[in-house]
Structure 1
Amino acid sequence: MPEASGWPGAPRYLGIDEEGREVLTYFEGHAAWEPQQPPAVYSDESLLRVTQLVREFHDLTAGTELAGSQELVCHNDLSPKNTVYRTVSGALRPVVFIDWDLAAPGASIHDVAHVCWQYLGLGPSVEDTSEAARQLRLIADSYGLVDRRDVISAT
C-alpha cells in the first residue's frame, strides 16, 4: 500500500475491505511501545514535533462537523506507543499517530494534557521536577497555550 496521509500526523482512510474492516494507509517506522526507547524519542525536538502534529490536527478539526458541539476532535490516547517515528536528519522523529479508536469530539486541553502525561512520564516517579516543568512549558509554548496566571491572580 502506498504511503499517504490526508494531513500530517494520521493515516488516510482507504475504505472497507471484504470482511468489513476499515483499511488505512500503512506507515513504516518505529513504534515506541517497549519500555526502553532510544533517547531521541523523548528529546525536545521530538516533543516539539509531537506538539506540532497535535496542533495541526486540532486546527484542522476545530469547528468542523466532526467536532460536533465540542471544540475539536481529540485523539484521546496520544503516547509514544501510538506514534510512529522515522529517521529525519539523522534522528528518530515523530511522523504519524496511530490507534485512533478513541478519537472523539472534545477539548484541546485533554489531548495536550495527555501528551504531557504520556510523553513526559509524569506521575509520582518523576525525579527531576524542574526538568519536567521545563518540558511542560516547552509543550505549552509549542502548542500555543495562553499563560492564564494573570487571569487567575486577578480574580
Structure 2
Amino acid sequence: MKQTEDKKQIYFNQVYDTIKNTGYHTTAVMEAENFTPFAYSTGIFENFKIPELFISGLGPNLSGEIIKNYAEKYKNSTIPVNKKIDDLTDRFSIYFLKVHNENLQEYVLTSIKFYENRPYEYLQLIFPDLNGNFPNELNYNYDQKIIGELNL
C-alpha cells in the first residue's frame, strides 16, 4: 500500500512540475479492449484562463499535439463553442462542446486532485470520423465517447 502511495506522489510531483514549467500537463489513457482512449489537460484553466480540454478516441501523440495547439491558440481569449474550427490541426475540422465537470469525474482524476476545491471548467473536442462525418451527422462511425452537450 505504501509503495502505491509513493508512486502516486511521484506522479503528482511530476504533474505539478510540468504545470509549473509549461502551464499545463496532458494525461493520456491508452486504448484497451472495450475501452476508448482519452486524453485531457490539467492547468490550462488556471494558467491560461480558458477551459481544460478533454479528447476521447484519439491516440496520445495526436491528443497531446491538439491540446498544445489549443493552449497556444486560445490562451487568455474566448473559445468558439459549437462552431466548426478548421485551423486547430491540419488533419481535420473540430468542434468544442461544453462539458459539466460531474460528467467527467471518472476520467479527469489528475485535474480533480490538482484543483481540489477550486473552480475549473472543461470543453470536449469533437472530431469527424474517417469519412468526415461528425457525431450529429448521418453515417457517423467512430469510437468517440461524447460527454459534452452536442448542439452542433
- The normalised TM-score by structure 2 is 0.25
Q: Name the structure, 1 or 2, with higher relative contact order (CA <8 Å, separation 6+).
A: 1
Structure 1 or 2, whichever has the larger Rg, is: 1
Q: How high is the TM-score relative to the length of structure 1?
A: 0.25
Greater per-residue helix proportion: 1
